[in-house]
Structure 1
């Protein structure tokens, strides 16, 4: 009741921009998803006034959803028509900032991107391989950092290995002229990512439903991994990227723990395939690796 009353006292949806609408949408979703219908019936029987509160909550949640759809479609239309070119799109979400909200694990830039894509940060899906993770969407600041480090252009191909439902891949494709390919084993994630990509008509974006170990990565110039694998799969992927690094100049942006993940990339460093760039304080869990022969 307390959460519902606070939400009903929030600003009208029509006065909010895309990111604020997504934040409000997620708050409504949290309340609705954590109410069990059978128990709600019992509560209403005991306290009939709760029905009016719940009906008001449902109606307000619907208005927020409708406003979110309109705001997102406006941006999607600008992308489809070319009115929102990559540089402007990138400046739009980066300009919102990466300051963490005081009461939730998000930033203004993340709220805007996730509202546009309708992607919650943490989602689970079926058909994950034994050494695959649940989908944890990349934070906007990490995507921005990748773009700054790699500066992908029209002659580059960026691979998002273990792309989940596509936040990173779609954002990079809309923010640059590079070819972007997301590789994902879970069919549910791939279908979600493809539906999102189709909304924006990004001709430089592709999603591949496959085991990453079976994918030809020979056209890749930059590779992004947000701890999508561990164990044998992580070892195989690091080995594949080490082989690629011996043949051409590539950049690998790998984020995750050192144990049973980062150690496989460091093995390629010790074998002379990749060179590890100095760590940065803001991204202590990130390893930026480049082809040693071209460094």
Structure 2
């Protein structure tokens, strides 16, 4: 059995945790501290340690955000320096913690709009999925990336920071949309924009790459796919899906596809795992 008192003392004496480069280790320690059944003086020692580690991270991320604002830092270099994310698996990891702290200087607000039928409550896309997606989609400078149902804006911000392309989010909830735009403005990212709109009515005419993390189901998903099909008549587009909506995309795996016609083809073999990004090209 772990000797909690000895373990806490060892952590307090571990000065490497105070070096800003060791974000990964601090994240693991903070998670462990939250899970420990501590009481009395031991809890006080752990709480003091927690405050020290969190203060180091606060200073680190303020420095990194300033570096992004003035163009000193590249996101991929920062991730390579500070984080060792999992290669596979589902759920979130330290890369998500790093990205959340880097992009957001204030907590995520609650959604204020009542969702209409077939709308899905916002859930963050794991950051490693976005990194994987960017590595496979080969975005060019003339591309315009649009996240349909962009939530807190993290996917849009990451795509822009990783590629430099103009990236746009369309979000139904005004509070989430305003939050996302505030994050972009705070980092001084003019190539990022967010529109508070219903995707069924939003302007999609500039988009060349569209992303969906199952923001819709049923008839609403059908209507959005019909809109994308219409856009594909005017120019070549790509569609990236993540989550259960992949099975409903024409060209996706399985049965029960939305009957909008054969207008998409997979760019890569489609995994039977819904939580693997799927990439499609218009015909």
TM-score, scaled to structure 2? 0.77
Assess, with a 3 A threshold, how the Cα gap between structure 1 residues 170 and 9 changes in structure 2: closer, same or farther: farther
Instruction: Determine the structure 1 residue equivalent to 2:227.
Output: 240
Deviation per CA, 1:184-223: give whole Å up to 9, x if none: 1223322332232223211111122222222101000111
Deviation per CA, 1:29-84: give whole Å up to 9, x if none: x569xx9xxxxxxxxxxxxx945444444443333332222111111111111112
| CA–CA separation in structure 1 for the residues paired with 2:162 and 2:211 | 15
Matched, 1:163 2:150: yes
Instruction: Determine the structure 2 residue equivalent to 1:14.
Output: 18
Q: 271, 280, 283: which one pairs with 1:289?
A: 280
Classify the secondary structure of the residue corresponding to 1:180. Answer: strand
| CA–CA separation in structure 2 for the residues paired with 1:19 and 1:213 | 41
Contact 1:123/1:135 (CA < 8 Å) preserved in 2?
Answer: no
For structure 1, which runs of at least 5 residues remain unmatched after alignment?
36-48
1 or 2, which has the higher helix percentage?
A: 1
Instruction: Determine the structure 1 residue equivalent to 2:188.
Output: 201
How many corresponding residue pairs? 268
| CA–CA separation in structure 2 for the residues paired with 1:128 and 1:20 | 40
Matched, 1:262 2:251: no
| CA–CA separation in structure 2 for the residues paired with 1:7 and 1:118 | 30
Deviation per CA, 1:169-195: give whole Å up to 9, x if none: 111111122101111122332233223
Assess, with a 3 A threshold, how the Cα gap between structure 1 residues 176 and 247 changes in structure 2: closer, same or farther: same
Q: 124, 134, 140: which one pairs with 2:121?
A: 134
Matched, 1:111 2:111: no
Q: Map residues 17-28 of structure 1 onto 2, 5 A cutoff.
A: 17-25=22-30
| CA–CA separation in structure 1 for the residues paired with 2:120 and 2:105 | 17
Contact 1:99/1:107 (CA < 8 Å) preserved in 2?
Answer: yes
Assess, with a 3 A threshold, how the Cα gap between structure 1 residues 19 and 229 changes in structure 2: closer, same or farther: farther
Assess, with a 3 A threshold, how the Cα gap between structure 1 residues 52 and 282 changes in structure 2: closer, same or farther: farther
